[in-house]
Structure 1
């Protein structure tokens, strides 16, 4: 189970570091082609989501790696599940049901990571 957690957590962390980093540093105009929803959400909220994604990525990796407060990895995974629930809600309210595929995959991966974390932490 530890190997499974590590594989899924590292893949999720890489994705969220990339996506969160883009939200933190790029302008609304640069994000618009990739994330159409940024035109309806205030940029401070977009930046906050990016910071939370980056912190979630760190939370998936650092606690198990250091052995300090390993329960934070589960909390990070649950937080990433909640971010994806919010993402799905935004897409559905915008009438973009066809765009929730990635959100559903990320939600499932984060939920699996939370479950895997409870089996060995």
Structure 2
């Protein structure tokens, strides 16, 4: 189970890193032209960048606390925060009738929920 949680955290961290880099460093106008990025046309540039920074922090928070042994409880806390972010993403994509992205966000939400459950519960770093 521990290995599965590490793999899930690693996969989710890669997703968060990719999303964070694009939202933080790619201009909003360019993101709006990419498949699945149309929502950025309706959002402010500062909001998109803030989401990007949150995703970069999530990428770090899913791996580094446990890997470095510094406040490993932040891993499941980050996973819970990611589930909240994915709920918002699902609502946003749902309003735009982008069901494929709603399903993709649901997969990310499920991975985050698994990590949160596992790291708060049976595979806790503090146990």
What's the TM-score once normalised by structure 1's chain length? Answer: 0.93
Corresponding residue to 1:38 among 37, 40, 46? 40
In the TM superposition, residue 67 of structure 1 has moved relative to its aligned partner by: 1.3
Per-residue CA distance 1:38-75 (angstroms, 9 max, x = gap):
01111111111111011011001011111111110011
Corresponding residue to 1:77 among 70, 73, 79? 79
In the TM superposition, residue 98 of structure 1 has moved relative to its aligned partner by: 4.5
What is the distance in 2 between the residues matched to 1:83 and 1:101?
Answer: 14
The match for 2:20 is 20
RMSD: 1.2
Number of residue pairs the alignment of both structures matches = 121
Structure 1 runs not aligned, ≥5 long: none
More helix as a share of residues:
1
Structure 2 runs not aligned, ≥5 long: none
The match for 1:2 is 2
